[in-house]
Structure 1
Amino acid sequence: MLPPYHRLEEFVPLTPAETRIAEGWTSSKRSVKRRHIIRREGDQVAGVFFLLAGWVGSSVMLRDGRRQIVKVHLPGDMLGFPSLSLVHAGETLEALTDAVICPIPNAAIGKLLMDNPRLATGLFLSTQKE
């Protein structure tokens, strides 16, 4: 299965070097079962996740205690990007189907921003379009 980089390439055609960087995101992939909580609202933010397969919901807790799904992520999406600038996650990420995610630590995102501005721009624009 080829990783779904189509979202990135919508804004920036990936060079071979950038493709290798994106492929590196899949080196620590992990399977999660349907209904598994990937990260809860309020958890410490250690990075983001690249969604390789499956569907994941992003939800927030409402004042009355109910939970509202604010986004449904599909393969190729970055999960948890809105909380990247926060210490504690602003949303809960839950697998809506069996899924495969690839954790990307904060340090790797920081390195990407410093060393690969073209790829970082594509990633930024992709997450904004979501």
Structure 2
Amino acid sequence: MTAGSDPRGRCAVYLRNGSNSESCLASRLSRYIDLTEAELRFVARMERDSRPLKRRQAIYEIGELTEELHVVKYGWALVYGAPVRGRRPILHIYLPGDVMGMAEIAQTHAVHATVMRTDGMICPFPRAAIADMYAQVPRLGALIMALNSLEHLGLRQRFAAATSLNAEAALIQFLLALKNRLDAAQTQETARFYMPLTQSELGDHLGLTSIYINRLLRRLNDRGVLTLRDKHVQIHDPDAVSETAGLRNDWTNIDQSWFPA
């Protein structure tokens, strides 16, 4: 299987069954299982309708009725919490191939605002399709459930970093985790990756000021740990840095022993 990308996260993937797909979701899923024709058709059904969006265009506002989930076809989106002391915290970052809205599926209205960070495209599909997935292609449903659990593990690691690591280590851990998620979607598989977030947005995500983020990035650059240039981050020794930051890459393997046949 091979993969290519452009900076916005479009996927061009040759699946193990010999077919070609531009679906980042199919790319992400096929990293773990050989997708059957029925599973590929269901993914295509999830991405049948598409909605192009511009940068800063809102997908959901707080309190808005949410009747659909979305596949992120390409582009990045940010989940914002309510403003706190004049700052709007960034709670989560959606990347190409993510299924948007799984965390809110128990609610009828949006708990947080979701806004496009870059130009992109999302594919809305009704919540009822999740029930259809478990009935028609249960292995696919199990895999998406497992991937969603990795998102929760990532939140735990970020919380642990915020409470037990210094700011520099927390920033490194975040950038490494971002790289691991992009690798899992196969939009890239190098130490250098696209990262359109501003220093202010990094601060809003990590609970730091943009001035402090700027200082940390300069320090990491001067020490040769990473390079940030033209909205791309290059981590020069990801394995060594991961060990130093105490980051476990949970995206490399998924326990499939409980998956239906």
Taking structure 1 as the reference length, what is the TM-score of the superposition?
0.89
Matched, 1:112 2:133: yes
1:3 aligns with 2:23: yes
Alignment correspondent of 2:106 = 85
Aligned with residue 90 of structure 2, among 56, 61, 69: 69
* Distance apart, 1:81 and its partner CA: 1.2
Provide the rounded CA distance (Å) in 2 between the counterparts of 1:80 and 1:106: 10
**Which is higher, the Rg of structure 1 or of structure 2?**
2
Identity of aligned residues (%): 30
The separation in 1 between residues aligned to 2:142 and 2:35, in whole angstroms, is 11
Q: Determine the C-alpha separation between the residues in 1 that align with 2:28 and 2:111.
A: 23
Deviates more, 1:98-107 or 1:12-21: 12-21
Q: How far apart, in 1, do the equivalents of 2:70 and 2:126 lie?
A: 8
Deviation at residue 65 of structure 1 after TM alignment: 6.2
- Which whole-Å CA distance do the structure 2 matches of 1:11 and 1:61 have between them? 36
Aligned residue in 2 for 1:23? 44
- What is the Cα deviation at residue 51 of structure 1? 0.2
In structure 2, the partner of 1:56 is 77
Are the equivalent residues in 1 in contact too, given 2:38–2:137 (CA < 8 A)?
A: no
CA gap 1:123/1:6 in 2 versus in 1, 3 angstroms: same
1:20 aligned partner, one-letter code: R
Residues 96 and 19 of structure 1: CA distance in aligned 2, closer, same or farther (over 3 Å): same
What root-mean-square deviation, in Å, do the aligned CA atoms of Structure 1 and Structure 2 show? 1.7
Which shifted more, 105-114 or 19-28?
A: 105-114
Residue pair 1:11, 1:126 contacting (<8 A) in 2 also: no
Q: How many residues align?
A: 130
Does the C-alpha gap of structure 1 residues 61 and 11 become closer, same or farther in structure 2, counting only changes over 3 Å? Answer: farther
